[in-house]
Each structure stands twice: as structure tokens, then as C-alpha cells.
Amino acid sequence: MKLNLFFGLLAATALSQPAHANSVRDVMGGIIVDPGTPDVINAKCDRYIDAINERRETVTSSEGPATEANTLVPFDEAAGLLLAGSGEFTLYREVLLTPELRDAAGECEVRLSSASSELSLSRPIFDRLSAIDGSRLDEAASSYLAETLAAFERSGVALDDDKRARVQEIQEQLATLSTQMARNIAEDVRSITATPEELAGLPQDFIASREAGEDGLITLTTAYTDYQPVMTYAENDDLRHRFAIEYARRAWPQNDDVLKQIFTLRAELAALLGRPNFATLALEDKMLDDPALVEQLMADTYAAALPAAERDYARSLAVLRQIDPGAERVERWQTGYISNLTQQQLFDYNSQEARQYFAYNNVRDGVLELTEDLFGVEIRQWDTAVWHPDVEAYEMVDNGEVIGRFYFDNHPRPGKYTHANMIPIYPGIAGEGVPVGALVQNLPNGDHSTGLMEHDQVETLLHEFGHMIHGMFSGNQRWLGNNFLNIEWDVVEAPSQMLENWVYDYDTLANFAVDAQSNTIPRELVEKMNRVRYFNAGLSELRQLGLTAMSLRWHMDPVADNLGEAGRILRTRYDLTPAADYDEMQAAFNHLDGYSAFYYTYLWSRVVGADLFTRFEAEGIRNRETADEYRRAILEPGASRPASESIRAFLGRDVTLDAFRADLETAVE
């Protein structure tokens, strides 16, 4: 998941009616589902900027002593508008239907990022906030003020005028580069052609849904809905090889230059702020708040994952040699296909057999029903306009009260964001409105004839919806800075990582996993899925360590001349399958922008998520009392307290790596 940051996303809601022409919610208005022209996008952007500037002026022009009402509240409103605008225009950039509209949204993101930087570097605002008498504030307001002042100091507000001006320039340049990188990835959808014969091994519904052109060839794009099935099922080694090359070169070489500029500017920013490197700066407000702690986590993970990785790699190589007796290693383009064959041989598990039970419409409904059953809420259709016929809209109701609304934009189309993420669009504002979010994904669409999903896509859908659940349940904070967006970023994935366990539970799957004849998924098949669950888990962790190393080291070391070569060296240091010489995946690795030095978030969140799940394992995966405690302890507090305190409230102890290690030990059995 990628989210947008406002120096830690510190923001809050007004404690009283704002003394401005428009309330925060009035400024937000609603989603523009059919902008028509970029002028409409630009006008909405102007509305945000004007309202933010109005509140900045209120803070700096207030007379008399600085108070919660005349200083903290209008600052909070400005920060809240930055948060909402960032979410809204990120959505537009990812989903609108023409390049012109998406570009206009991206330009507004840059404007909002510039406004955010200006706010975080404003010495007059910092001075007014610093002058508030904290002894007159309640505990929540006092804590919020302290966090806000700390974020100002990390942003560089204490620098002299010239250095603050340079920080502002850097932030504006980084915002522009971020938009450029995302645009390059979204627009560089590549393709290859294949003969019908080359599709041997692929599911029949996949083949039937793709027509050959006049030349008799079938076009395959690098969208997930094409790439993943081909790399898993296609028997033709050359087809997978050709496809892997195109996929690994998306947005290359254009994004290499963008990334080099990003790394260079971040290094300069860290130096201006007196840090030895950007990784040190980026980790200061995380749960693992020092690069040395991340490196230790990586070392512990490597030691735990290597035995399982070596065992499963040897198994896959043995299967490959049945096809190619002279094979010396498993190549990158062979891993998915050979893994699938190995699972069939060793575990009698065929993922094609499983996918026939996962039609999108049923899976979507099953995920929503699971949420209702687990947390006692109702999810119903939301009657509102949408920006594309494929988009679905819902609202979440708790005890008769709507607590959140969200969109599903879950299917691919040209120009749309090509990965999967949850976008928080509007924050919840006490007394004014509930949180609004969107899932933007690229999944098959429809019933059993057109919408069959892989089991790992089911897992992804539930994972991303886990972020939505977190956002809905934590959306009623007094201070917006305490919602889930502002928890320590390296644990933001933990609730979603934990929720993935439910797609391996037979009782859960039996509620929605049916084939075209309405036969429920067999229990035996789910048991097989669980037996293969940790197959290749060690290899997966090693590959993730390679990506983590890129994220961390490239924000600590000098910028490499050849990013592709440097990335291949780092990943091969961990992975048992060496990176192929054609691999330029860094160009489409958007986490290098959004997550910067802390891609390790996914690793640490897996550790935390595995530990959180131990209570459900002990007390029942569908135990409502446990789920209610989890909601109260982990989800609802958001960032109103440190993540370590929330975890301790639920587990009764601090996090350990024991459950994570146990999962990898299971993989060795």
C-alpha cells in the first residue's frame, strides 16, 4: 500500500465551528466523477489551496496569546485539508480516464506538496504553535501539539532562511519527480504477441477471453491479469522468457534518471537537516527508528529464511531437471511455472483447480461478509455517482450509524494505476462527515466465465481491504493526526498482513468459494492450500530482503551510476535465483518513491502481524470477543498512542519474532 505523507500526516479536526467562509468538509465537497476538462480539476485544486492559505493566515495574524482555538485549530484545519487534497488528487491521477485529466491531477499533487512543505517550514507558524501554553491543554491536545512541534523540527523549520528556502525547493522538486515516476509506470504498459499454440497450459477461460488478431497472434500486456497467469501456467519457456523481459523493463530507462534525481535530492535534504543520510532521517519516527535496527532485522530474517529457501529451491530445481536434464539453476522467468509444477508433484495441489472457486463477484461479496461477521458491522450499497461503470460504492454501518464510505475500482483499463493500493480520500471529521476511501486494484472482472482469480489475488484483495477496515474504524478521532495514517509507518501493513490468514480458513472460504455449478470448495483442497502455503516462503523472504536492501542502501550510499546493475547485485546477495541481466525492475519499483528507505515495513509488519494472529489462533479465528478486543486495541486507537502500546494492550506483551520464525520453520518441514 502506498499513502501520501504530510511530514508524518499530522493533522486534526476543529474543536469548535471554524471561523472561516467554508468548513473543512465544505471545501472537500465530494468526488468529481466526471471532470470533463482539466479546468474542473484545477478549480477544485484552487479551492483547496485558497482554504489552506486562509487558515495559515489565521494562525499568523492572530493577536494576543497563542491558544488552542486561535492557533492549533486553524493549523489543524490546514493540515487536514492537505491530507484530504492529497488523497483526492492521488485518486484522480490513478483512475481518471484521459491523460489530460490524470496530468492535471498530478500537477495538483505537486501544488499540494509544495503547500505542505511551506507549512512545515513556516517559522511564524512554528513560533505561534510553540507559544501555546501546554499546561492549559488536555492530554490529547498536549500530545498532538508535542508531535506537531517535533515534526516541524524534523522538517527543518529551525534552519536559517536560505537553508529553509532550499529545503522548500527540494520538496517541490521531489513532488514533481514523484508524479513523473508514477506517470511513467502507469503509461508504459508493454506487450508481446503469442501464437495460440504458445498459450498451452493456460486456463481455458484465459485463452477463450483473448482473441487473435488478423495476423493470427494474440496480444498479451504487462497488466497483472495477463502477466501473472502466463508466468504461472504457460508451458512454453520462450514465451515466459520474452514476457519476463518486457515486464522487468517497464518504465525503463526513463525512470532511472528520475530515481537518481530523487536519491540525490534526498541525500542533500538529509545533509541540510544534519543527518548522515536520508535513511536515518526517514526512520526517526518509525517503530524501528534506526538503520542499525533494520539491518539486524534483515540479518535475523535471513538466518530464519535460508534453510527453508534452500530446501524449496532444491525441490524446484529437481522438478525443472525432469523437463530440462541439463538445467543448472532455476531462472527468474521459470520460478512461477516450476513452483506450480512442484506444488502439484509434492503436495498434489493444482492452483488451476483452486481458481475455479474464486470468481471475482463471489470473492468481493465474501470479503465484505467476512468483515460483517468478524466485526459486527453492516456493509451496504452506497447510492452515489462513480467515475467508471466498473466502480462499485459501499458504506459501512455500525449500530445503525454510517461510519465510513468507500469505492472499489478493482479492474484494469488503459492508463489506470497498475498496482494495488488503498487511497484514503477524505478523513473523518467529528460532526461533519465520515472517512471516505478507495481500493484501486487490477483484478479480473465478473463471474466464472470472465472473473476467475488466483488464490493469491484473493489474498491481495483482503489485504488491501484490511487497510480500508483500519481507516473506517479509526476515523472518529478527535484529532485527525491520530487516525491510522499517522501510526508508525513500519507497522501500517501489520493489520492487513494478519488478515491474510482468513483466506486459508475453510469456514471462511466455504462462505463464498464456489465453482460454476455452485459446488463449495472441498475441504480437502483447502487443506492442500494450507500445506503449500509456506512452500517457497523462505525464497520469498530472501527476495523481499533484496528489495529491502535496495530501499535502505540506496538512501545511505552514494547514487550508483548504473541502477540496474547495482540493484541486481544487491538482490542476488540474498536471493538464491540470481537477478537476470535484463532485469531493470527498479524503474517500476514505485515503493522506492513512496516508501523511500523503509520498504522493510512489509517485513516488520509481517513479524507484527504474525504475532497479533497468535491470539486468534489460541482463541478462535472467528471469535467475536477476540475480534472486538482487536478492534478496540489495534484498529480504533489509530495513532492516539504509540503502536507498541496498542500491541501490548492486545497481546499483553511486546512483539517477538517467535511466530514469524515458527512460520518459516513450518516451511522447512
- Taking the CB of residue 302, how many other CB atoms lie within 10 A of it? 16
Average pLDDT over every residue of 477-490: 79
Q: What pLDDT, in 10s, does the model give residues 222-279?
A: 988 899 999 999 999 999 999 999 999 999 999 999 999 999 999 999 999 999 999 9
DSSP state of 383: -
Span 70-86, mean pLDDT? 91
CATH superfamily of 24-186: Endopeptidase. Chain P; domain 1 (1.20.1050.40)
Give the per-residue pLDDT at 225: 86
* pLDDT band at residue 486 under the 50/70/90 scheme: confident
Task: Give pLDDT, residue 636.
Answer: 92
H helix intervals, 533-623: 537-553, 563-572, 591-594, 601-619
Per cent of the chain over pLDDT 70 is 96
Helix (H) or strand (E) holding 103: helix 99-120
The per-residue pLDDT for 667 is 63
Q: How far apart are CA 601 and CA 144, in angstroms?
A: 24
Give residue 3's Cα distance to chain centre. 7
Residue 58 has pLDDT above 50, yes or no: yes
Q: Tell me the HSE value of 56 on the side-chain side, using a 13 A CA sphere.
A: 20
> Which backbone phi and psi does 474 adopt, to 5 degrees?
-100, 15
Predicted local distance difference test score (pLDDT) of residue 560: 96
Q: What are phi and psi of 418, to 5 degrees?
A: -100, -5
Rounded Cα distance, 605 and 470, in Å: 14
The confidence score (pLDDT) of residue 63 equals 87
Q: What is the mean pLDDT of residues 582-603?
A: 96
- For 424-458, write each residue's pLDDT tens digit: 999 888 778 899 999 999 999 999 988 999 999 99
Neighbouring residues of 510: CB distance < 8 A, sequence distance ≥ 6: 520, 521, 523
Residues of the chain with CATH 1.10.1370.40: 360-520+602-668
**Is pLDDT above 80 for 7?**
no
Residue intervals in the chain for CATH 1.20.1050.40:
24-186
pLDDT, position 4 = 37
Query: Above 90 in pLDDT, residue 287?
Result: yes
- pTM beyond 0.85: yes
18 pLDDT exceeds 50?
Answer: no
pLDDT computed for residue 640 by the predictor: 81
**pLDDT, tens digit (0-9, with 9 covering 90-100), for 304-354:** 999 999 999 999 999 999 999 999 999 999 999 999 999 999 999 998 899
pLDDT value of residue 22: 80
* CATH number for the segment(s) 360-520+602-668: 1.10.1370.40
Where is 371: in which H helix or E strand? helix 360-375
Q: How far apart are CA 44 and CA 64, in angstroms?
A: 34
Q: Using CA atoms, how far apart are residues 103 and 84, in angstroms rounded to an integer? A: 19
- Are 480 and 83 within 8 A, CB to CB? yes
Residue 290 is predicted with a pLDDT of 96
pLDDT of residue 669: 58
Residues 6+ apart with CB under 8 A from 529: 349, 354, 455, 504
Q: Stretch 490-510: mean pLDDT, rounded?
A: 95
Mean of the pLDDT values across residues 363-368? Answer: 97
Reported as a pLDDT band with limits 50, 70 and 90, residue 12 is: very low
Q: What whole-number distance in Å separates Cα of residue 245 and Cα of residue 240?
A: 9
